[in-house]
Amino acid sequence: MAGRTADIRAAACGGAHPRARADGLTLVELVIALVVISVLVAIGLPNFTGFMSEQRVRAVASDLAGDLALARAEAASRGAPVIVARAGAAGCLVGGAGGTVWREGWCLFADANRNGAMDAGEQIKVQQPINPPLRICSPVGEFANTIVFGPRGQVVRTTAIGANDGIIVTDDTGGAAEARTRALFFGLGGRVAVVNQNRQALPC
């Protein structure tokens, strides 16, 4: 009985029980947590970067395909050529400035007088520049500056139709092995098909 009383007294004085551990992490635990987080970030960052690149390419390809479909429909409804021209070509000015590549924007216009240039009153739509690192190009020389849709909605060209007839949207900043690419191919009737060509050699 006397021993139990002594234990109770000791407990009351705080001498018999070890001190409770303070809340929080020790330095070793913190270092381990940081190492684990670093490994997870190193593993996930490339996948996230690729995902964002994929989304950018998909969005721009969708916008361009929509504009090409609009040009085709307008040509058929007007019974006159409709031209999609990159910034700086065929009188297309984006933001009051010219350009040299498709990424800097493009114009849709009805070529009512069939002179191959956008004149007053012919503009249908203007697309603003696309942010880098995306590129837009074509392996077909005739599509380097303009794409012309004839009165029946067909793509007008003077050279023979080839396997890579179309225009390419790509982000290849990570190299060809990681390139995210959408190809917009033109059918015989001018209909546009968007094809996934990720991680393939680029035609332009």
pTM for this model (two decimals): 0.75
Is the residue at 98 inside a domain? yes
Containing domain of residue 162, as a range?
50-196
Cβ-contact 115, 46 below 8 angstroms = no
Give the type of residue at 190. Answer: G
Q: What pLDDT, on the 0 to 100 scale, is given for residue 26? A: 85
Q: How many degrees, rounded to 5, is the angle at CA 63 between CA 61 and CA 69?
A: 100
Is 96 a domain residue? yes
* Domain membership flag for residue 41: no
Determine the pLDDT at residue 53.
87
Question: What pLDDT shows up at residue 162?
Answer: 72
- Distance CA(155)–CA(107), nearest Å, equals 16
pLDDT tens track for 136-145: 999 888 999 9
Count other Cβ atoms within 10 Å, centred on residue 116. Answer: 14
β-pairing, 123-127 with 106-110?
antiparallel
- CATH number of the domain at 189, please: 3.55.40.10
Evaluate whether residue 137 is within a structural domain: yes
For residues 170 and 143, what is the distance between their CA atoms, to the nearest angstrom? 16
- Tell me if 125 is assigned to some domain: yes
Domain count, the chain: 1
Residue 186 covered by a domain = yes
Cβ–Cβ under 8 Å, residues 124 and 109: yes
Residues of the chain with pLDDT below 70 are 1-24, 35, 37-48, 163-164
Measured in residues, the chain has a length of 204
**159-196 per-position pLDDT tens digit:** 877 766 899 999 987 777 778 999 999 877 888 999 99
Instruction: Tell me what pLDDT residue 43 has.
Output: 60
The predicted structure's pLDDT at residue 5:
47
